[in-house]
Structure 1
Amino acid sequence: MNREAIINLVKDWRVALLLVLVIGSLAGIYLTPPDLQKGLEGNLQFGLDLQGGSWLQMEFQSVIVAYSTDKPVGDLVDNLQKSLEADVIQIDQNHLEIRKSVSRADLEPLFAASGAKIVGYQEGVSSFTADEVKRILNDKVNALGMQDARINLLTPTGSEYPQYVRIELAGVDMETAQEIVGKQGMFEIRIQTTGNETEHVLFGDQITSVGVPQRDPEYQTWGVGFALTEAGAQAFREAALKQGAVDNPGAHHLVMLLDNKTVYSAPLAGDLAAQLRSGPVRSLSATTGTGDAGLDDAMTLEIHLRAGALPVKVDVVGSGSVPAALGEHFKTTVVLAGLLALLTVGVVVYYRYREPLIVLPMLAINLAEIIILLGIARFIQQLDLAAIAGLIAVVGTGIDQLVIITDEVLHEGRVPSQNLYMKRYGRALGIIAVSAATVFIAMLPLALMDLSTLRGFAIITMLGVLIGILVTRPAYGKVIMAILSK
């Protein structure tokens, strides 16, 4: 091909789009953010298999009980909380979540004493509590700057409720992983004095319980309720009286800090100030606003009020680690496997066509597809062994589809006329589109399931299918036409 033909080829929007995405992907991998010490890995996020690290599997110490009763449910909940010394949450009209590991045999007399009967019993937590645990762990991990973390909820076969949570931390030793799960942050409440100055009121150890986000039915505002110890309530009242907050609540903000970082600040409520005049108040509520934004802030504040503590106790039932050296060995093996796959594909394609001008564009387009795929995965997906398997699968299916295009456009070994070429090329794309749609639909359930071993494979495969149909196959059709016509 001469210089003019190459320029015309690059000007075609399909080829231009491919080149722009390849350059953008390389920039995303190596230049954002810039780091002169990056190796070939760039900004790619590697999972536990390829980087080394630790994993913990923890069991929720909680049970879900289905019940029936003719008496007020509130009395049942109060009696259970006092008898078990544990939080009891009403999930719906017929189910309670008891945040303590207790057998059905031990619960039955307690329910009977409250005029209730146990209908069903399962170990685990409600979906709300499970999501709350996942949010808290994510918040902890993100606060420590660890992006290569996976947190998955596991539900045993035949159960409706999650019973385990598994956390994988790439590049983290076992001791640090245990500390992340068990360590609480330092939570502090302060009150505004004058200007931007604040004074200490109490620490998080004075908070006895934290409620779930609730919406005020009258004002439609979201908030989180929490209770103080008697000493904490007394310290809070004394600080409010000392600073004059009970007389001028609007001028004195209540400031909450987690590890010296402000997580909540709002003026003292007028009705609370009136209550503090007459005595200590143990039950407080922090209002966060209305709508979805208020709910999001309330959920975040709930985590901070707990100072990073999980709402339900967990016991470690399994753990393991992958040494960094073994992770590097896996990484090297994966690179060699990928190169060997690409080389093998090239040899097979050359044996079929015996023409380098067909083989080289195929391999180049396939390589470009992998680069674009890695550039996108760099932002949304860790690269573990399952994801790498998806990449290798994309190489194989990609070449397969390029062979379909080449076989269709070649007519008895010769390049057909322009009209016949476009007709055959359109038919090839139709075949590929149907095949890609089948793969996409087959992978979709795996991508939506929270399964750490399969989700990466499904996501990478689906991305590869989309990139192929939308970008690389159209570009290959234009490139192969320009080459074969010469």
Structure 2
Amino acid sequence: MKIKKLFTDFRIILWLIVIVMAIVAINPKFSNRGIVITSINASSPLNDVLVPGDEIYKINDDLASTSLLERRYSGEVRLKTSKGVLFYQLNNSTLGITGVQAERSNLHFGLDIRGGIRAIIEPENATEEMVQSIITTMQTRINVYGLKESLFRPIWSEGKAYIQIEIAGGTKEELMKLLEHQGKFEAYIPLKIKDGKIEFNNKKIDVSVDINKTFEADGITFRRVNDSYVEALVYTGKDIQMVYLDPQHSWFRPTENGYSWGFQVLISNDGAERFKKITMNIPVRTGIGTEKYLEEPIKLYLDGKLTEKLSIGAGLKGQLYTTPAITGGAKTKNEGMEEKRRLQSILRSGSLPTKIKVVQMDEISPRLGARFLSSAMFAGLAAILTVSLIVFIRYRKPRMVIPMILVSLSEVVIILGASVLIGWTIDLAAIAGVVAAVGTGVDSQIMILDESIMGKKQEWSLKERLKRAFFMIFGAAGTTIGAMFPLLVLGFGMLRGFAITTMIGVLTGVLITRPAFGRIVEYLLE
């Protein structure tokens, strides 16, 4: 009956409910799911068969791992993948792919554990407001591209602004392609010069400027490119109000020579009005078959570099056109998908307010983080067992040791579950916070045991001795939270993760696990 009374106590019930909720939040997966592909080289034999996001379960008869991806193979290689079993012949070469270990839980691990890229960029003549604008723009670019595990941190040194970017699971090539473009988008339509004039919007305008000079007419900016043509600025990045990503407005198709892709964008009314004026007097030509187009294309420029020429359908002549399509092509599927995602991310994020320079870029191997994580788990378990052994030697009560181990392990589970619920990333600092929280938890449990067992020599009841222990525990918890609060508010880099996990651990202890442990001790000593 006593054991039934123990499990009907609200402190024990709350403790067990929170443990179950934490396990559900973590959602551990005990089977090895293999490797998730993050990028594929153009020369890889897997190109056009697998794409980033596909999984490799086995390489030959071995479970797939990041170390096996770096190995050189000769002869036939058998891959068990999410798209079936594949066979390839290799001649002392790697598979030409990079990947990360498939997630085994809902825990979000940081760059130093999962592996990835760390870069430091220097904006040109940046102010504090400009730095925040750059961070917002780069976050949008990276998220649209698909590299969502990213962290941005502004750094000021000797009056200069720097931005540290960390991407878990990415590659140097992917990050460089997103960073090297300022993202200044412009679209021009050429107009032919006849007798020193251009014709648009049913008007004729004199062209008297030199080559490479600009002029304005009827609210439109023109630039003279040579003796025969000027180019009219029809769209800028500010005119792009939306970049469509859904299948109805975005496509990717195989062709005879490779792959074609495209996506539509929503243009502002001002941009549509410029398109109407500029195309009003452009002649129509006949294309392949019965299709008709305007004689002049629309040219797309990114950071001043021509990226695409698109034909304009004759039906759009002089029309308010708000949903033009950006199209392109590539020889391989991966190249096409990557280029499409890159353009979508840059157009959707907008242009950076200033030019940037990549000062440093490092690649962190996921093997180091995995090794550290395993070492930390073994070290933590060894510490708990060592403390339990010392407690057993001191009190000579084996039945007190087992609850101490269970409560300490439950604190780790609850802290990790809380990190999933609040969306916090587990990095080295966070692991240090978990260790610190469990350490304070063990201290508190020893206080409870010491007051409960050794306090018998004094004329106090068991409940009074537990009250004394909890008074000291709450005082120590308040001191710890007070010490961590400035780190949490001011956000001193990685110390913020340490502060958050430590505070979660301390609050978990004083509100959930310490009362439960106190009730268990009370039950065992009754």
- TM-score w.r.t. the length of structure 1 is 0.61
Distance in 2 between residues matched to 1:384 and 1:274, nearest whole Å = 51
**Contact 1:341 1:392 survives alignment (8 Å):** no
Q: How does 1:25-36 map to 2 (within 5 A)?
A: 25-30=22-27
In the alignment, which of 427, 439, 451 is matched to residue 396 of structure 1?
439
**Contact 1:258 1:307 survives alignment (8 Å):** no
1:387 aligns with 2:430: yes
In the alignment, which of 158, 170, 195 is matched to residue 172 of structure 1?
170
Deviations 1:308-358, CA, capped at 9 Å, x for gaps: 432222211122121122222222222222222222222222222121111
**Contact 2:114 2:168 survives alignment (8 Å):** yes
Check 1:25–1:184 CA distance in 2 against 1; reply closer, same or farther (3 A cut): farther
In the alignment, which of 16, 20, 27 is matched to residue 23 of structure 1?
20
Partner of 1:329: 371
Partner of 1:6: 3
Q: How does 1:263-278 map to 2 (within 5 A)?
A: 268=269
Q: 1:27: Cα distance to partner?
A: 0.8
Distance in 1 between residues matched to 2:106 and 2:453, nearest whole Å = 41
Q: Which has the higher contact order (CA 8 A, sep 6+)?
A: 1
**Contact 1:152 1:167 survives alignment (8 Å):** yes
Partner of 1:140: 141
Partner of 2:112: 49
SS of 1:312's equivalent?
Answer: coil
**Contact 1:391 1:460 survives alignment (8 Å):** yes
In the alignment, which of 487, 490, 510 is matched to residue 449 of structure 1?
490
In the alignment, which of 351, 355, 358 is matched to residue 316 of structure 1?
358
RMSD: 3.7
1:483 aligns with 2:481: no
Check 1:180–1:17 CA distance in 2 against 1; reply closer, same or farther (3 A cut): farther
**Percentage identity across aligned positions?**
31
Distance in 2 between residues matched to 1:377 and 1:228, nearest whole Å = 53
Partner of 2:474: 433
In the alignment, which of 116, 119, 122 is matched to residue 59 of structure 1?
122
Distance in 1 between residues matched to 2:401 and 2:393, nearest whole Å = 10
SS of 1:205's equivalent?
Answer: strand
Deviations 1:424-459, CA, capped at 9 Å, x for gaps: 222222211121111112112222334433221111
Check 1:266–1:358 CA distance in 2 against 1; reply closer, same or farther (3 A cut): same
SS of 2:351's equivalent?
Answer: coil
> Which residues of structure 1 form unaligned runs of 5+?
63-123, 188-203, 208-226, 237-253, 281-302
**Contact 2:11 2:516 survives alignment (8 Å):** yes
Distance in 2 between residues matched to 1:350 and 1:228, nearest whole Å = 85
Distance in 1 between residues matched to 2:427 and 2:23, nearest whole Å = 20
Distance in 1 between residues matched to 2:242 and 2:370, nearest whole Å = 40
Q: 1:360: Cα distance to partner?
A: 1.0
Q: 1:24: Cα distance to partner?
A: 0.8
Q: How does 1:287-298 map to 2 (within 5 A)?
A: none
Aligned length: 338
Deviations 1:23-69, CA, capped at 9 Å, x for gaps: 1111111179x99949894121111221111100111211xxxxxxx
Distance in 1 between residues matched to 2:351 and 2:269, nearest whole Å = 26
Deviations 1:408-431, CA, capped at 9 Å, x for gaps: 2335458988xx322222222221
> Which residues of structure 2 form unaligned runs of 5+?
35-101, 189-218, 224-230, 250-263, 280-344
Distance in 1 between residues matched to 2:465 and 2:455, nearest whole Å = 13
Partner of 1:288: none
Deviations 1:124-173, CA, capped at 9 Å, x for gaps: 422x322222222222232234343221111237x5xx711101111222
Code of the residue aligned with 1:30 in structure 2: it is: N
1:206 aligns with 2:248: no
- TM-score w.r.t. the length of structure 2 is 0.56
1:360 aligns with 2:417: no
Q: How does 1:103-114 map to 2 (within 5 A)?
A: none
- Quick check: 319-328 or 430-439, which moved more? 319-328
Code of the residue aligned with 1:342 in structure 2: it is: I
Partner of 1:350: 392
Check 1:439–1:235 CA distance in 2 against 1; reply closer, same or farther (3 A cut): same
1:373 aligns with 2:408: no
Distance in 1 between residues matched to 2:431 and 2:484, nearest whole Å = 15
Check 1:265–1:409 CA distance in 2 against 1; reply closer, same or farther (3 A cut): farther
Check 1:134–1:416 CA distance in 2 against 1; reply closer, same or farther (3 A cut): farther
Distance in 1 between residues matched to 2:354 and 2:3, nearest whole Å = 64
Code of the residue aligned with 1:386 in structure 2: it is: A
Spell out structure 1 runs of 4+ moving beyond 6 A. 231-234, 262-267, 272-280, 303-306, 414-417
